[in-house]
Structure 1
Amino acid sequence: MQAVFLVSVLLCATCYIASAITDGLLPNGNFELGPKPSEMNGTVVIGRQAVPEWEISGFVEYIKSGQKQGDMLLVVPEGAYAVRLGNEASIKQRLKVIKGLYYSLTFSAARTCAQEERLNVSVAPDSGVLPMQTMYSSNGWDSYAWAFQAEVDVAEIVIHNPGVEEDPACGPLIDSIAIKVLYPPKATNQNILKNGDFEEGPYVFPNTSWGVLVPPNIEDDHSPLPSWMVESLKAVKYIDSDHFSVPKGKRAVELVAGKESAIAQVARTIPGKTYDLTFAVGDASNSCEGSMIVEAFAGKDTTKVPYESKGKGGYKRAVLRFVAVSPRTRIMFLSTFYTMRSDDFSSLCGPVLDDVKLLSVRKPRRM
């Protein structure tokens, strides 16, 4: 009877988790289900519950792909519809989650008529303001990741435009909002670093080809890239092997903003011991051409790894040998230069980093 009871409890727990959340789009996360004609005044949505599955506040527009705004043609990345948030407008959805787990939101956004648009993303008590001044993709849309830890069983997800523009309708377009559970990775006897292959990270939309921006940790207390911190002013890009060239596995990181785009992790080390930090440097096969340099840091030691990119994929491996001087060693990577795509001089790109490993050297030889 005890065994039957235990199995029943496990099945119920599994059912609860499954019903609580699945990785992928939120209910009506792509806004393809729209308001009724009676709930719209032109493109403006009327009524807090007019957009199915969402609660709206303020000046919210329901935008169809190809719609014109003056001389500008509004494009939607997936499907046919998106929403636009005007001054102080927001969209909100409540979602059942598992208390204590970490989650990452991924959403696509496009700047429209203001140069300094930004979005405030929050799941109480966590919140972060994501700047949108820098656009990284060629079509004007970028996907952003933002993470939180669930403190209650129901998360209230809010995306808010805090902007105050002369035109109240001037604000970012939002589309394709998804969620993914993040599982904290562990160090192993094969790698002191956690998530060195970057396989654990935010949800990547299967139908988009521009990757996901991971914001600086000053904007996000919980990194969407578990165990890594983006310690810079600009984001790094999380890329997948379905759309980019990746040195190993299915995921990697592209350092897209020069020295303003750094990624770091603090590892446990033994003072006096010798360690090898190995990693792969390459290009994403996204027309990012030219001379690139990845700088690697391990405590006070550093190395510069040059890579000549033809923008068609490929990579090289590198190693930084160092002697630990403290029980904790900060490992960091950044790109020396800014690089633009050869087929689009308005899109930032950079070297790819992957397969990062840290291991102690038993009998170090001179290198």
Structure 2
Amino acid sequence: MLKFTALFVVLCATFHVALSITDGLLPNGNFEQGPKPSQMKGTKVTDPTAIPNWQLSGVIEYIKSGQKQGDMLLIVPEGQFAVRLGNEASIRQKLKVTKGMFYSVTFSAARTCAQEERLNVSVRPNTEAKDWGMLPMQTMYSSDGWDSYAWGFLAEASEVEVSIHNPGVEEDAACGPLLDSVALKALPPPPRRTRGNMLKNGNFEHGPYVFPNTSWGVLVPSNIEDDHCPLLGWMVESLKAVKYIDSDHFSVPEGRASDRAHCRQRERHSPSGQNHQGQGLRSHIFLGVPYESKGKGGFKQARLRFVAVSDRTRVRFLSSFYTMKNDNSGSLCGPVIDDVKLLGVRNPN
């Protein structure tokens, strides 16, 4: 019988101080090209084609960074301009893609005066029953007031239309979410499983686009909201999103990217080492890994040994605490996982 070993690293990360649409901003994805004065009434855009490269519907406002709304100062994370989506408002853009390839859409959004905002991301054409994302924004994970979100889809045609829609029904349409910096990334298949690692994308190098000038990472939604996880090979099980981070802004022990738990991957195997369909997981083995952060990076390696009792094993990481940064910013933080390996070893007994 084979014993299996999962190797992983736990880290408390600390913050360090046609345009190609296969890996970067969409055309006018940061909304810096805006409407003409004749196409606006105050901050409201009156022409559905006023913002270049975008098709608008509903109440759309064109917002300049530093603009005030009552006592609230509206901040734009990149550049000078963003758009605000009122009740049932949406923006759409048609894109040339490769049919049959997986893609990830990344965008930055901020909540304004509404408490239970959410955004619906979708793509057309689409024949999959659940290939859309309803991304909740009740919790803001960043102390900057903005979060970036990722959503994955399968391209069913060589030209698709990506839409971001606010399904809100607030009494004040000016309480809709702000939207900025929409990007696309092609997601090639992750490396195949090998004897050196039976998990796919164990180092999390294959994931959504991360904006280079932002410091808050990218939130990957739960599979409840997304059929195709933009973090290739993995699924997010928790009700809360997982944050995808990179080495440009965080301390990452291996490669350029890492991931904040909670996520899982299912591996198929048999005692002979062959891959087969199974009947599901029949037992659970847990390993708690404590790590005390000093706020200076660093990591701790841990190992879990187990014997496979069925043809299918679920490798799962769970953050068991609700933790915030100690600077009173209200920003959520937590353990980071990276360099995950699943190895098969012979039982010496």
Q: Out of 286, 291, 296, which is 1:302 matched to?
A: 286
Are the counterparts in 1 of residues 19 and 27 from structure 2 also a CA contact under 8 Å?
no
Question: By how many angstroms is 1:298 displaced?
Answer: 10
Pairing 1:343–2:301 present? no
Pairing 1:157–2:162 present? yes
Question: By how many angstroms is 1:345 displaced?
Answer: 4.3
Post-superposition Cα deviations, 1:86-115, rounded to whole Å, max 9, x if no partner, equal 000000000011110000000000000100
Q: Give me the identity figure in percent.
A: 70
Q: Out of 172, 182, 185, which is 1:180 matched to?
A: 185
Are the counterparts in 2 of residues 138 and 344 from structure 1 also a CA contact under 8 Å?
no
Q: Which is further off, 145-154 or 19-28?
A: 19-28
Q: Out of 105, 115, 136, which is 2:141 matched to?
A: 136
Matches of 2:266 and 2:49 in 1, distance apart? 45
Q: Out of 298, 308, 313, which is 1:329 matched to?
A: 313
Are the counterparts in 2 of residues 272 and 323 from structure 1 also a CA contact under 8 Å?
no
* Larger fraction in strand: 1
- Runs of 4+ with >2 A deviation: 18-22, 362-365
Pairing 1:167–2:172 present? yes
Secondary structure of 1:310's match? coil
Q: What letter corresponds to residue 223 of structure 1 in structure 2?
A: C
RMSD (CA atoms): 1.7
Secondary structure of 2:292's match? strand
**Paired positions, count:** 319
Flag the 1:298–1:177 CA change in 2: closer, same or farther, 3 A.
Answer: farther
Matches of 1:26 and 1:204 in 2, distance apart? 14
Matches of 1:322 and 1:331 in 2, distance apart? 11
Q: Which is further off, 264-273 or 62-71?
A: 264-273
Gaps of 5+ in 1: 1-17, 256-261, 274-296
Q: What letter corresponds to residue 87 of structure 2 in structure 1?
A: N
Pairing 1:212–2:218 present? yes
Are the counterparts in 2 of residues 44 and 62 from structure 1 also a CA contact under 8 Å?
yes
Mapping of residues 207-246 of structure 1, within 5 Å: 207-246=213-252
Q: Out of 302, 311, 315, which is 1:318 matched to?
A: 302
Post-superposition Cα deviations, 1:21-63, rounded to whole Å, max 9, x if no partner, equal 4310000000000000100001000111000000000000000
Pairing 1:194–2:200 present? yes
**Alignment match, 2:278:** none
Matches of 1:145 and 1:39 in 2, distance apart? 31
Are the counterparts in 2 of residues 120 and 129 from structure 1 also a CA contact under 8 Å?
yes
Matches of 1:19 and 1:238 in 2, distance apart? 25
Secondary structure of 1:119's match? strand
Flag the 1:195–1:364 CA change in 2: closer, same or farther, 3 A.
Answer: farther
Q: Which has the higher contact order (CA 8 A, sep 6+)?
A: 2
Are the counterparts in 2 of residues 271 and 323 from structure 1 also a CA contact under 8 Å?
no
Matches of 1:146 and 1:135 in 2, distance apart? 17
Are the counterparts in 1 of residues 282 and 310 from structure 2 also a CA contact under 8 Å?
no
Post-superposition Cα deviations, 1:251-299, rounded to whole Å, max 9, x if no partner, equal 00123xxxxxx200000222488xxxxxxxxxxxxxxxxxxxxxxx995
Pairing 1:104–2:104 present? yes
Matches of 1:345 and 1:298 in 2, distance apart? 42
Flag the 1:52–1:178 CA change in 2: closer, same or farther, 3 A.
Answer: same
Matches of 1:175 and 1:298 in 2, distance apart? 45
Pairing 1:65–2:65 present? yes
Question: By how many angstroms is 1:188 displaced?
Answer: 1.8
Question: By how many angstroms is 1:364 displaced?
Answer: 4.4
* Larger fraction in helix: 1
User: TM-score, with normalisation over the residues of structure 2?
Assistant: 0.88
